[in-house]
Structures are given as C-alpha cells and as structure tokens.
Amino acid sequence: MSATPPSVLEGTQSPSQIELLWERYRSLAYVIIFAVIAALGVNYAIKYFDRKKTDENWSAFTATLGYEKGYTDDAKAFTSLTDLLKDIDLATIEASLSKALPAQKPFLLMAVARRAIIEKQWDRAESALKDLETNYPQHSLVKASKHPIQTREEVKADKKKDEVVPVQQKPKKPEYKPAVEGSAVALVRQQIAAAKGYTAPTQFAKAEVPADATKIKFELSEGFGSFVIALMPQAEKHREAFIQLAKDGFWKDVAVDEIRRSAKFMKQPLELHLGFKSTTVDDRTKWNTTEPSTNLLDFESTNLSHFAGAVSARNEADGKSCSDRFWICVDDNPSHDGERVVFGFVVEGLDNLRRVCEAAMSTQEEERGSGRPSANIRVTAVTVL
C-alpha cells in the first residue's frame, strides 16, 4: 500500500520586517522628507536673496566708479579709472563709502584719492590714502611688493626709416617697461608729488581771454540754448573777418553739418563744425559741403592750442583758412595744433555744445563716430556783444 502525499497548503505570506517598519513609521518619514525639502527650499531662498542683495550692492559699486559704461560701450572698455572718474562727483564717491561692503571700501578710498587728485585737492587725496593704510594694512593696494597693482607702458621699438615688415611675419609679444616696486598707495603718492610740482610749459598753457575781447553770441534751435565766443587778439585777420560776418548775419539759419565723438573701438574728442551756407535749407540733399569758401584768409600762426572750447578755422586748399567755416573743440584736441588757426574760445555755453555733440545720428554715422545730427540744429541768432 503506497503512502498518500501531503496536500498543498494555501495561505498568505507574512510581511517582512522592513514592511512592518515602514507601516509603523511612514507618517514620520513623510514629515522628515517634507521637512528636508522645506529646509532646502528655505536655504535656497536665503542664498538667492542674499546673492541678489550682493549683486545689487556690487552693481551700485561699479556704477559709482563708472565701470558700468565699459559693459555697454566697447569704446570705454579699456578706459582707465582716472578717466572714468572725471564725470563723477567726489561727493558721490564719498557718500557711497558708508553703504559699501568691507571688500569695496579699499577701492572706494583709492577712487576718492584719484578723484581728489583730478580736482587738485591734495590734502583730501592724502587723507584717503592714510585711511586706506590704517584700516586695511594687509590689502593688496597697501602691501608693498616687487610688482604692485599698476599700469605698465609698452616699450615701442624704434622703426628704422624705410624699414619694411614682412606681411607674414608673426607678431612679436609686446614688451613692457619694468614694474616699479612698492605699493599702489606709494605709487599714487609719487604721482601726487609729481603733480604738485609740475608746471606746464608756457606753450601748453591756455591763453587768458582779455577782459576787453570782442564776444559773439550764437543762439541755437532745438532747445540747445546758446554759446558765446571770445575772439583772441593773436589772430587779428580772422578776428576782424569773423566780426564782420557776424554783423552781416552770415550764420543766420546755418545748421551744424558735422559732429565728431568716440565710436566703437575708437576714442576721439568731441567737436562740431558749421558754416556751410547751403545748410540753411531743410532738404539735406541740397546741402553742399564740398564747395570752396569765398571768405578765405592767409594762415595765421597764433600759437594758441586746441583746449576745450577752442574755435578754429576750417582749412582750405593752397594753405588758405576760412573765416566763415569753423570747428569748435568741446574737449581738448591738441592733435590739430598748428594745423588750424585758433582764433577764439567759448566762454559761455560749452555744456550746450557738448549736448549738440551727443545728439542722435544715424546708425552708420554712430558706428563711424562722425556725421550730421538727425535733427537740423540751426543758428537762430548771432549777436556781437
């Protein structure tokens, strides 16, 4: 008789220990996970707003020193700190010190010193440097080294006359003058001492306008106000001819036909030109800026330089000079010294002429850095004072 096999038992499998633990602590796990996620979110929010505040602070810092101009204008990308500070008030920089981050204050103190030097406030410059040394003795601007923060000029090789450089020759790596040892603060002090002891050569000193100089007032359209030119005695022929043209009303309705300013990758001083009689009409296709002048004079050597406000005659062919067409330098522009006859200086309204030079132009002219203002900026009245 054979054995009967046992029957198969059916039933459920008991839960594992992990499943039992999960069922017991599931609610707690959810709470912990939620708490972790919430903590990460709060941490991210804190870092985000902290970073945002820091970014705003540093953006304000760069704006205080004028650095933001380099981000929006390629022509100013390599502008030095001293040049950037020329358009910023010393009081503005000093006011930002109280709100600045500790990492920013040393640079602001240096900027205060730089701006004070521009205004020749030597004591204020020295006090800013002293504060920088006292409060931040370990800062890179203060610590002495063999190569402190500084700008090194490039050594220019003397090119021999008629020397031809092969087109395919690989450009040489630029060579710079040796670094000056010390600290950035010490180098600034050396510059202050040199500036205090500097006396400009007489040929570079701006000539004084005589108290009895004849003055001519020009009034402009488009809300650009007016400006006054004082005529210099050194240019006798140009002065007399200019006065006569003013009395004759020559420039009435004449428009500014060219303005020049810095463009992309090119920096140049502000200046403007006017004097072409054909610009009195609104239709610019009828403007003729190539016709020769009928008011010509022999070139006069005045030894006057193109400082800001200099009024100089336009050159004509055969070494002649115009008495009716003239340039006005809004910025210093010594490159034209000896090339044009300077016969006067703007003594009032130079800020209005600066606005003229900053007027809108076409896109192509904007990229070129010279052209006609989009609006016809005309001379509405001329008065001999």
Over 90: is that where the pLDDT of 292 sits?
Answer: yes
Q: Give Cβ neighbours of residue 53 (< 8 Å, ≥ 6 apart).
A: none
Weakest-pLDDT range from 80-84, 272-276, 295-299: 80-84
The single residue listed with the structure tokens 């463009």 is 263
Q: Report the chain's C-alpha Rg in angstroms.
A: 35
The type of residue at 162 is: D
Architecture of domain 215-384: Beta Barrel (2.40)
326 contacts 312 by C-beta, under 8 angstroms: yes
Residue 304 has pLDDT above 80, yes or no: yes
Residues 6+ apart with CB under 8 A from 322: 275, 293, 295, 296, 297, 313, 314, 315, 316
**What pLDDT, on the 0 to 100 scale, is given for residue 165?**
52
Place of tokens 């050594």: 155
**pLDDT exceeds 80 at position 72:** no
Q: How far apart are CA 352 and CA 358, in angstroms?
A: 10
Residue 300 has pLDDT above 80, yes or no: yes
Please name the residues in contact with 204: beta carbons below 8 A apart, sequence gap of 6 or more.
305
Question: Which pLDDT band, with edges at 50, 70 and 90, does 156 fall under?
Answer: confident
Q: Whose CA is closest to 237, among 329, 340, 322, 294? A: 322
Give the residue with greater pLDDT, 289 vs 78: 289
State residue 240's pLDDT score. Answer: 97
Q: How confident is the model at residue 123 (pLDDT cuts 50, 70, 90)?
A: very high
The pLDDT of residue 251 is: 97
What pLDDT is attached to residue 26?
Answer: 81
Confidence label for 270 from pLDDT (cuts 50, 70 and 90): very high
Q: Considering Cα of 208, then 211, then 215, then 218, what sign does the dihedral take?
A: positive
pLDDT of residue 15: 72
Q: Where are the domains of the chain?
A: 71-155+174-198, 215-384
Lowest-confidence pick of 90-104, 121-135, 323-337:
90-104
Contact 336, 320 (CB under 8 A): no
Put simply, whether the predicted model's pTM sits higher than 0.75 gets the answer no
